């Protein structure tokens, strides 16, 4: 990756005009499409999509009932002379001004109360269609009112009305409807009144006390902040004029709250971004001490934002302005890339080193961060989808700009590595916090505590809590609550159908259920459209019921009316309107044909679109949970019935957010995991890189739990940002650690400096939102501060500690770093060991009290012990176990077993061989809580009482056939070298006159080292040597001599065993694993190289086991390490032109003082006198003149009987040589192999001629089948 960007940098350095032209073309194109982009200020785009939320959005967006803007007019408090007429007069003027200025551009309509003519028209309309406005129960009431007694009351009442003051006004209505049947319908109109506290006067709605007038306006849009900006600006201007006249005008509604939120967000972002800009300008300029630093830092951000907008202009067309507003804040992460570059350039101005240090982590972090943002595409929210695309493209484009363009803008003022400035940030970065065990323990304990507190964090889906309301809106809301019943809970129930008639028909059941709720006292009152507007089918039934009623009652009722009227003094035909009312042939009203009178009453309760119609019913009830839940239960799960309520939507929103949030986390983790896995090529590094992110996540959520902060739709956005930032920091920390592990470059502090700078700039950029007034932005700021602090702390302390444990232990680098498979096997073995130890301890207590023969119990206990150790050893099935027992020793007689002691595994290897085995151990092991009692019961003998005491304790056990294992070295050592033997074991054998059974154990020191408590894979060989009978005096006369003789014999046998098994195949795993975690390309190259070279067996066979070797063109040092591992008597000088390869080779754990790596041009290098000189795959990188020079130098420095080993492609083998040329062209073309010359391959003839001219023996020992490579031996 670094080579690619270094190549790009050098290419554009040579072609500056081309580079500038390409950059300008990209900027112009992006700008062009950016200007085509449309911005939506619809705040509802933030809401996630779900069935119930979509239903709510449909109702709120289309309902005239719910989108009202309520305007309250009253006298100012300081006005003394307040009169009802003056208030009405001003209100009329104010409403006329609204109509003239704001309708139709900003207000759809301004609703007033009906006048007398409209009321009369409504009455006439109801009389004209009376049956369709009745309910079934109304017919029973009418029927019961037709008795002579009830008719008498009605006629008397009519008489009183007619002779009273209102007689003139009521005369027409009484004549038309003498029995007042219309009252049944008119009473239903009361349900449509705003509130009982209001009355109508002069066409205005005024409170009964005459203090407040209420106007109801319908905005063109509730959520379009661009339109509403003008609307509320005009309203505010009118309100100011009203104040000058002594009136107070306030307004409240969804549109006002939505607009207030959008405006507050814009103002807060402008203020906080400006403040952040100022802080960053000061900080960056002071830190880098460059005038242009601040500009350079923000250029990638600007370029990234432009590229994202251009992309969205091409492929999306319209985006959420709110999302871009939040996204612009999150773009602070793009600043990091320039900061990383400037920070590393500050340490070292060499551009090649700069790309080596930062190119890979910047690309990795941009990819992971972009993928985290793109996971927002899986959330059901259009605004968050827009945010994800915008942020992802911005971040990745900023990263590319930082790597491709920015280095050209940084001037090289120095050619040497700069001495680190001793400022506060450098001092903090230089602290090795990960080495402090107390801090690491604190991290673990804090994480555990915060894990539990994190469970307290919940989703708060109540958008109102994250709404901003100005003092004016709060006062307006309080005022409305005072003068109306707004304090009651309101729930909307919608009956839905494909058209109005279907919706009305379905609303019948809804209306019946609502009526039942009122009768049972669950709701206080309600408004149901079906009382006035019914489906045609229902109207037909009502008309039929009306006709059936009068079929049998008309004649008798008419007769009674006439007689009672005449008796009261009326003319016989005074109430002739009764005939017209009863005998009229009524027809159903067509709901789809709009009627002005009916529409004025019901239109607010209807939503009609081309595909869907909804009828809105309004329920008023007490706001306690029990009552609300009863209403929910009545309608939930009903087809084509929607419950529209903030609380229910809150619950639904919480479920949706919870599901979306879980999805977001999973998708982000999967994306990041895959990218890291591909980049690192190792699952171990991927997991370790993600651990700090997961722990910092626990910290963030845990701290939220402590302070009672809830998740909401706004701070979820910032969690994505924190997740991306945490990955970035982990990647850069890991890069510093890998640089150290791979090259030995101790430069981790420069990465810490970058992270500290990034965290400071990010906090300055986002943390300043804490000063915002909008609660959502404050929530974002608080989450940012908590999250970034957690990410930095965990990264600085925990990540280095985990990585260092992976590759090193207290004595230095592990000769084979820990792998995931090793870790799993080690943990599994530990669990089995602890469980087995506890089981044997429990068994020892049981056997002590179990009534059985003591010796048999002991044997059974030893048998179980033996099988358990067998299982523990053989469960590690990845490690090969071999027992070599040529004489078939079977422990049939007691003996003193001696073995080399290099690991804890030795003990189990001895015990698994036979049940009748005891071990000499330290008395302190008796005190071990897990297995102490088991060892005592198994008669493991304590060694610290002297061998005389051991003799007394062991003798009776020996007589029972038990052998005693003693490690004559006394203590474990994992060097693989046999230490001095103590004579205690031989003293016991001599005194007891029993044989010594020597057993060699090989390989166990590499599976579980003494100082490295971790189990690895490998191979173990357990070899039985012939028994030694001390009374034969084969190794001396006295005990001391015998001890030394046996030690010498044991060492020789062990050396032979090592020589037999420590072959190139045995050490191949060691060589390969020393290049783990140094990059996927190098790891796979190492693996393939060893396979293709057959682990360098042929070189090992050719080269003596004890000699001085010079390897010219050693590359990564695979061959040199293999030769040294097989035989430590090989002293090697390895030379290569590629300095980075030498750095990698020299920084391996298996490096010893016997292998020396040197970075030098082999054509100029002064070769030491050597027994073997190797030129492997190197000569073709040099021109012919230098090839000849090197061969002469090798000959001159070759000791007598020495060997020159040359392996190279033979240019004379044309067919095979083509393949060799292709492979070499690829390796040099991608920069894997470094060269400054044209490839020139040597030929067999030239090498043969050189050998003959210098009296060297010439031999070809190997020839490749596919390529032209050959191995030439030149012996002196």
For residue 333, what pLDDT is reported?
Answer: 67
d(CA 145, CA 557): 10
1076-1275: which CATH topology?
Rossmann fold (3.40.50)
| Tens digits of residue pLDDT in 467-479 | 667 778 878 878 8
CATH of the domain spanning 820-1061: 3.40.1130
d(CA 757, CA 608): 57
Average pLDDT estimate for 975-979: 84
pLDDT band at 1118 (very low <50, low <70, confident <90, very high): very high
For the chain, where do the domains classified as CATH 3.40.1130 start and end?
820-1061
Alpha-carbon distances, residue 670 vs 360, 380, 657, 1079 (angstroms): 20, 19, 19, 21
| Tens digits of residue pLDDT in 293-327 | 888 888 888 898 899 888 888 888 777 666 666 56
Is the predicted pLDDT of residue 1046 greater than 90, yes or no? yes
d(CA 826, CA 1008): 10
Closest among 489, 546, 536 to 508, alpha carbons compared: 536
Contacts of 8 (CB under 8 A, 6+ apart): 404
Q: Which residue has the higher pLDDT, 818 or 490?
A: 818
For the chain, where do the domains classified as CATH 3.40.50.150 start and end?
1076-1275
Average pLDDT estimate for 55-59: 73
Q: What percent of the chain has pLDDT over 90?
A: 26
pTM: 0.74
Helices (H) and strands (E) in the chain, counts: 46, 29
Q: What tokens were used for 353?
A: 């080193």
Residues in the chain: 1276
* Sign of CA pseudo-dihedral 166, 169, 174, 175: positive
Instruction: Provide the b/e sequence for 904-934 (b: ≥16 CB within 10 Å).
Output: bbbbbbbbbbbbbbbbbbeeeeeeeeebbbb
d(CA 54, CA 56): 5
Is the predicted pLDDT of residue 1205 greater than 90, yes or no? yes
For residue 209, what pLDDT is reported?
Answer: 84
Is the predicted pLDDT of residue 418 greater than 50, yes or no? no
Q: Which residue has the higher pLDDT, 1171 or 264?
A: 1171
pLDDT band at 1070 (very low <50, low <70, confident <90, very high): very high
Average pLDDT estimate for 715-731: 76
pLDDT band at 193 (very low <50, low <70, confident <90, very high): low
219 strand-pairing partners: 107
CA 141 to chain centroid, in Å, comes to 67
**Ramachandran assignment for 1049, one of left (phi > 0), alpha (psi -120 to 50 degrees), beta (any other):** alpha
Q: Which residue has the higher pLDDT, 843 or 115?
A: 843
For residue 416, what pLDDT is reported?
Answer: 47
Phi, psi dihedrals of residue 925, rounded to the nearest 5°: -65, -20
Is the predicted pLDDT of residue 650 greater than 70, yes or no? no
How many other C-beta atoms lie within 10 A of the C-beta of residue 1066? 19
d(CA 918, CA 593): 104
pLDDT band at 413 (very low <50, low <70, confident <90, very high): low
| Tens digits of residue pLDDT in 891-907 | 888 999 999 988 888 88
| Tens digits of residue pLDDT in 924-946 | 888 888 888 999 999 999 988 78
Angle between helices 854-874 and 820-849 (to 10 degrees): 170
Closest among 355, 357, 358, 347 to 426, alpha carbons compared: 347
Is the predicted pLDDT of residue 668 greater than 80, yes or no? no
Q: Which residue has the higher pLDDT, 857 or 350?
A: 857
Q: What tokens were used for 95?
A: 């409403």
**Which of 28-42, 74-88, 552-566, 764-778 is predicted least confidently?**
764-778
| Tens digits of residue pLDDT in 590-603 | 776 666 667 777 77
Q: What percent of the chain has pLDDT over 70?
A: 89
d(CA 68, CA 89): 23
């Amino acid at each position: 990756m670094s080579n690619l960007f270094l190549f790009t940098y050098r290419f554009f350095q040579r072609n500056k005009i081309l580079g500038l032209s390409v950059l300008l073309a990209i900027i112009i194109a992006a700008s062009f499409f950016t200007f085509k982009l449309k911005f939506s200020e619809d705040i509802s785009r933030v809401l996630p999509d779900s069935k119930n939320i979509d239903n709510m959005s449909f109702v709120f967006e289309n309902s005239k009932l719910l989108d009202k803007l309520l305007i309250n007019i009253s006298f100012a408090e300081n006005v003394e002379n307040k009169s009802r007429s003056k208030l009405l007069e001003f209100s009329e003027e104010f409403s006329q001004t609204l109509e003239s200025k704001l309708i139709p551009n900003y207000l759809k309509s301004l609703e007033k109360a009906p006048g007398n003519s409209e009321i009369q028209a409504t009455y006439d309309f109801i009389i004209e269609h009376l049956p369709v406005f009745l309910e079934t129960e109304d017919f029973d009431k009418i029927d019961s009112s037709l008795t002579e007694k009830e008719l008498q009351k009605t006629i008397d009442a009519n008489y009183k009305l007619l002779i009273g003051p209102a007689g003139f006004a009521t005369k027409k209505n009484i004549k038309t409807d003498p029995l007042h049947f219309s009252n049944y319908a008119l009473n239903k109109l009361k349900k449509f009144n705003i509130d009982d506290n209001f009355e109508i006067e002069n066409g205005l709605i005024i409170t009964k006390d005459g203090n407040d007038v209420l106007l109801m306006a319908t905005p063109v849009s509730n959520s379009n902040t661009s339109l509403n900006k003008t609307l509320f600006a005009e309203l505010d201007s009118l309100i100011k004029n009203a104040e000058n006249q002594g009136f107070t005008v306030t307004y409240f509604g969804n549109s006002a709250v939505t607009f207030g939120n959008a405006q507050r967000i814009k103002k807060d972002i402008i203020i906080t971004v400006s403040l952040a800009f100022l802080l960053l300008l000061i900080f960056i300029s002071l830190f880098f001490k460059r005038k242009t630093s601040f500009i350079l830092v923000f250029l990638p951000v600007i370029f990234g934002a432009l590229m994202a907008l251009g992309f969205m202009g091409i492929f999306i067309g319209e985006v959420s302005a709110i999302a871009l507003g939040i996204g612009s804040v999150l773009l602070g992460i793009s600043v990091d890339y320039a900061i990383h570059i400037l920070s590393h350039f500050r340490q070292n101005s060499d551009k090649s080193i700069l790309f080596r240090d930062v190119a890979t982590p910047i690309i990795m972090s941009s990819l992971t961060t972009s993928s985290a943002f793109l996971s927002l595409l899986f959330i059901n929210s259009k605004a968050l989808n827009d945010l994800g695309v915008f942020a992802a493209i911005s971040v990745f484009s900023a990263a590319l700009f930082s790597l491709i363009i920015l280095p050209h803008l940084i001037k090289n003022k120095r050619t040497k590595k700069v001495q680190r400035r001793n400022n506060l940030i450098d001092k903090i970065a230089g602290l090795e916090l990960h080495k402090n065990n107390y801090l690491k323990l604190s991290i673990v304990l804090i994480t555990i505590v915060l894990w539990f507190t994190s469970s307290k964090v919940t989703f708060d889906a109540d958008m109102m809590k994250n709404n901003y309301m100005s003092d004016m809106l709060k006062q307006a809301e309080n005022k409305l609550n005072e003068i109306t019943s707004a304090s009651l809970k309101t729930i909307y129930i919608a009956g839905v159908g494909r058209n109005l008639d279907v919706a009305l028909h379905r609303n019948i059941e809804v209306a019946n259920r609502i009526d039942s709720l009122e009768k049972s006292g669950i709701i206080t009152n309600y408004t149901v459209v079906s009382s006035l507007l019914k489906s045609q089918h229902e109207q037909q039934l009502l008309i039929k019921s009306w006709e059936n009623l009068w079929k049998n009652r008309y004649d008798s009722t008419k007769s009674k009316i006439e007689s009672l009227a005449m008796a009261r003094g009326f003319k016989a035909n005074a109430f002739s309107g009764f005939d017209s009312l009863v005998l009229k042939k009524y027809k159903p009203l067509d709901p789809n044909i709009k009627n002005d009178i009916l529409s004025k009453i019901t239109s607010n309760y209807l939503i009609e679109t081309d595909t869907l119609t909804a009828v809105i019913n309004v329920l008023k009830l007490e706001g306690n949970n029990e009552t609300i839940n009863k209403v929910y239960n009545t309608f939930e799960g009903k087809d084509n019935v929607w419950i529209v309520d903030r609380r229910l939507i809150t619950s639904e929103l919480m479920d949706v957010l919870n599901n979306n949030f879980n999805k977001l986390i999973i998708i982000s983790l999967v994306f990041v995991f895959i990218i890291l896995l591909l980049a690192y090529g190792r699952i171990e590094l991927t997991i370790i890189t993600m651990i700090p992110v997961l722990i910092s996540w626990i910290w963030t959520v845990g701290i939220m739990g402590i302070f009672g902060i809830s998740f909401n739709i706004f701070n979820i956005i910032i969690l994505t940002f924190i997740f991306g930032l945490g990955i970035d920091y982990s990647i850069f920390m890991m890069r510093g650690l890998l640089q150290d592990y791979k090259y030995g470059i101790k430069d981790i502090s420069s990465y810490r400096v970058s992270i500290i700078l990034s965290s400071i700039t990010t906090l300055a950029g986002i943390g300043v939102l804490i000063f915002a007034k909008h609660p959502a932005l404050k929530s974002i700021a608080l989450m940012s501060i908590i999250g970034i602090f957690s990410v930095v702390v965990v990264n600085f302390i925990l990540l280095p500690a985990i990585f260092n444990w992976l590759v090193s232990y207290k004595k230095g680098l592990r000769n084979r770093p820990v792998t995931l498979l090793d870790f799993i096997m080690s943990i599994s073995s530990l669990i089995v060991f602890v469980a087995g130890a506890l089981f044997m301890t429990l068994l020892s207590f049981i056997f002590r009290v179990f009534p059985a023969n003591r010796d048999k119990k002991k044997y059974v206990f030893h048998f179980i012990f033996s099988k358990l150790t067998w299982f523990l050893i053989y469960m590690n099935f990845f490690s090969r176990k071999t027992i070599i027992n040529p004489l078939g020793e079977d422990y049939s007689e007691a003996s003193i077993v001696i073995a080399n002691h290099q690991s804890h595994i030795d003990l189990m290897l001895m015990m698994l061989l036979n049940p009748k085995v005891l071990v000499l151990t330290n008395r302190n092991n008796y005190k071990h809580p897990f297995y102490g009692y088991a060892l005592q019961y198994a008669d493991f003998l304590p060694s610290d009482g002297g061998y005389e005491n051991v003799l007394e304790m062991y003798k009776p056990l020996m007589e029972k056939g038990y052998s005693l294992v003693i490690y004559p070295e006394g203590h474990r050592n994992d060097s693989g070298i046999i230490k001095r033997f103590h004579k205690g074991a031989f003293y016991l054998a001599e005194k007891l006159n029993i044989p010594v059974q020597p057993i060699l154990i090989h390989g166990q020191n590499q599976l579980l080292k003494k100082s490295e408590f971790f189990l690895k894979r490998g191979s173990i060989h357990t070899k039985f040597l012939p028994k030694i009978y001390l009374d034969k005096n084969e190794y001396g006369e006295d005990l001391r001599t015998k001890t030394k003789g046996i030690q010498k014999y044991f060492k020789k046998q062990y050396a032979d065993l090592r020589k037999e098994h420590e072959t190139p195949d045995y050490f191949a795993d060691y060589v390969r694993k020393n290049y783990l975690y140094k990059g996927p390309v190098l790891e796979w190259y190492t693996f393939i190289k060893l396979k293709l070279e057959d682990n360098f067996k042929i070189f090992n066979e050719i080269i003596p086991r004890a000699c001085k070797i010079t390897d010219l063109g050693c590359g990564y040092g695979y061959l040199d390490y293999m030769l040294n591992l097989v035989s430590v008597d090989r002293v090697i000088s390895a030379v290569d032109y590629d300095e980075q390869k030498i750095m990698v080779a020299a920084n391996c754990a298996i490096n010893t003082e016997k292998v020396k790596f040197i970075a030098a041009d082999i054509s100029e290098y002064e070769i030491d006198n050597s027994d073997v000189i190797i030129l492997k795959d190197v000569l073709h990188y040099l021109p012919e003149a230098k090839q000849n020079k090197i061969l002469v130098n090798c000959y001159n420095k070759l000791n007598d009987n020495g060997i020159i080993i040359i392996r190279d492609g033979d240019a004379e083998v044309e067919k095979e040589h083509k393949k060799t040329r292709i492979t070499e062209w690829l390796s040099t073309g991608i920069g894997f192999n470094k060269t400054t010359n044209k490839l020139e391959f040597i030929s067999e003839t030239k090498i043969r001629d050189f050998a003959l001219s210098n009296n060297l023996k010439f031999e070809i020992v190997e020839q490749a089948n596919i390529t032209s490579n050959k191995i030439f031996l030149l012996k002196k």
